[in-house]
């Protein structure tokens, strides 16, 4: 039976407007391909993506079978700006007044954080249409800003967000987390007084499964030394990426001639780290590369690294896009991470050391460097095979539909 699903997220970004925020589009595109009507409501104000240029309060487009409604929203540039909160409020105000002429009535509405405020739009529309409401959690707020932002649990803003979070868990028909162990967090918050909780993780970006665009020969010659084991971090260079331990490790391995650290990306802390590592011949910063070339960069590497800060958040699981990219590259992964088992653990395609422990990281890099290259490559291929088998968006969309509309969509 055909159904109509609306997905409301301020930070959904269909191609070609940004790499971050594509998950909603890929899920909804697969739902459309399964014969359902798929509608995305998003904002033209996103510090990690772009948007089409338009006049008026909103713009409707049709992208690969998905109806996309762009809402003109108050603009901001920095994630930690007060203007971002104003933009959240403006988005909900505009969504509540969005002209719906021509849009099919929804059978289910998915409201996705961030921001948490979108639950209010979801509740309003649920009442208007009598449909089911799914509250999707991509970041556990306010716990994330308590653990990683240093906010006090007694901060008035945090207390308001906590109230909204609990209310959403109770009043939605279904709670979906991108992290695998969200149910434990919800149970700890409310006991059994909440909606059912399920997990629909991030999936494989179909654009990334195509042949990667090759890197210029000059770029490779300038940044990738030959005959060395390359440890690569690709992605944002910011506070939450916890890269201090990687650079401490690189300094301690300054005298190890066969290992080189390749840092690909941009971010607020890049100038600081570049200055601190200026005397290290075993560290190279390249800046960012086009999305189409990311897999080509990873293919030149031997170990792919990511790190997180110690946090209670990880007890409930991890949902980093970076892990998808890394596993798809078919390379062995090493992480400074402690928490609920990840996809890397499930696939057996990588190892972890305690976050913040540069000594343990050095020891593990040296151990992996001593393995025969064929053994490292086999572990990496295991990860690629696993991610393609278990995380394609077609399967995730089918699972999502069955959870969101259990009485309409058969197994």
Determine the pLDDT at residue 108.
Answer: 98
- Give pTM, 2 decimals: 0.91
pLDDT at 410 (0 to 100): 67
Residues 27-71 have pLDDT tens digits of 999 999 999 999 999 998 887 777 788 888 889 999 999 999 999
Q: What is the pLDDT of residues 149-164, one digit of tens each?
A: 889 999 999 999 999 9
**Max Cα separation, the chain?**
67
The string of pLDDT tens digits covering residues 316-374 is 998 888 899 999 999 999 999 999 999 999 999 999 999 999 999 999 999 999 999 99
- Does residue 208 have a pLDDT over 70? no
pLDDT of residue 337: 95
**According to the model, what pLDDT value does residue 84 have?**
86
pLDDT at position 411: 53
What average pLDDT does the segment 181-186 reach?
97
Query: Would you say 264 and 291 are in contact if contact means Cβ atoms under 8 Å apart?
Result: no
The owner of tokens 């510090």 is: 47
- Model pLDDT, residue 209: 66
Say what the pLDDT of residue 335 is. Answer: 96
**Whole-number pLDDT of residue 80:** 72
Query: What confidence score (pLDDT) does residue 202 get?
Result: 92
Show contacts of 183-188: CB within 8 Å, 24+ apart.
184/315, 184/316, 185/140, 185/143, 185/315, 185/316
**What's the pLDDT at 20?**
67
Cβ neighbours of residue 224 closer than 8 Å, sequence gap 6 or more: 230, 262, 284, 300
CA dihedral over 399, 207, 25, 325, signed as positive or negative = positive
Distance CA 4, CA 36 (A): 6
Cα-based distances in Å from 24 to 29, 68, 112, 117, 194:
8, 11, 9, 18, 24
User: Residue 135's pLDDT is what?
Assistant: 98
pLDDT of residue 70: 92
Q: Which range has the worst mean pLDDT, 31-35, 78-82, 241-245, 402-406?
A: 78-82
Query: Is it the case that residue 136 has pLDDT exceeding 80?
Result: yes
Question: Among the residues of 130-192, which ranges form H helices?
Answer: 143-147, 156-171, 182-190
Q: What is the pLDDT of residue 239?
A: 85
Residue 207 is predicted with a pLDDT of 66
Which 3-state string (H, E, C) describes 42-57?
EECCCCCCCCCCCCCC
Averaged pLDDT for residues 94-100:
88
């Amino acid at each position: 039976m055909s159904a109509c699903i609306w997905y409301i997220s301020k930070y959904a970004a269909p191609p070609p407007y940004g790499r971050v925020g594509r998950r909603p589009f890929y899920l909804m595109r697969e739902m459309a391909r399964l014969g359902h009507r798929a509608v995305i409501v998003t904002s033209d104000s996103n510090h990690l993506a772009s948007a089409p240029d338009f006049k008026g309060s909103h713009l409707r487009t049709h992208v690969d079978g998905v109806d996309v409604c762009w809402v003109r929203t108050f603009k901001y540039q920095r994630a930690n700006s007060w203007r971002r909160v104003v933009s959240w409020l403006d988005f909900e105000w505009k969504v509540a007044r969005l002209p719906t002429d021509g849009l099919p009535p929804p059978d289910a509405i998915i409201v996705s954080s961030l921001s948490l405020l979108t639950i209010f739009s979801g509740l309003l529309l649920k009442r208007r249409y009598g449909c089911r409401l799914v509250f999707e959690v991509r970041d556990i707020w306010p716990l994330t800003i308590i653990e990683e932002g240093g906010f006090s649990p007694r901060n008035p803003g945090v207390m308001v967000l906590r109230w909204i979070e609990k209310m959403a868990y109770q009043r939605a028909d279904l709670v979906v987390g991108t992290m695998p162990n969200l149910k434990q967090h919800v149970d700890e918050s409310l006991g059994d007084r909440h909606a059912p909780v399920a997990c629909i993780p991030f999936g494989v970006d179909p654009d990334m499964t195509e042949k990667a665009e090759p890197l210029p020969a000059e770029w490779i010659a300038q940044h990738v030394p030959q005959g060395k084991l390359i440890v690569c971090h690709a992605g944002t260079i910011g506070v939450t990426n916890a890269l201090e331990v990687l650079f401490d490790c690189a300094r301690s391995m300054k005298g190890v001639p066969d290992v080189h650290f390749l840092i690909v990306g941009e971010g607020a802390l890049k100038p600081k780290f570049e200055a601190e590592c200026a005397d290290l011949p075993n560290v190279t910063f390249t800046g960012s590369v086009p999305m189409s070339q990311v897999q080509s960069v990873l293919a030149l590497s031997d170990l792919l690294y990511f790190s997180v800060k110690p946090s209670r958040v990880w007890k409930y699981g991890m949902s980093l896009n970076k892990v998808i990219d890394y596993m798809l590259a078919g390379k062995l992964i090493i992480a400074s991470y402690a928490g609920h088992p990840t996809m890397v653990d499930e696939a057996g395609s990588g190892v972890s050391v305690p976050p913040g422990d540069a000594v343990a990281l050095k020891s593990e890099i040296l151990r992996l460097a001593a393995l025969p290259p064929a053994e490292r490559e086999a572990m990496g291929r295991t990860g690629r095979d696993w991610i393609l088998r278990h995380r394609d968006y077609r399967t995730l969309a089918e699972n999502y539909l069955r959870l969101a509309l259990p009485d309409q969509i058969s197994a």
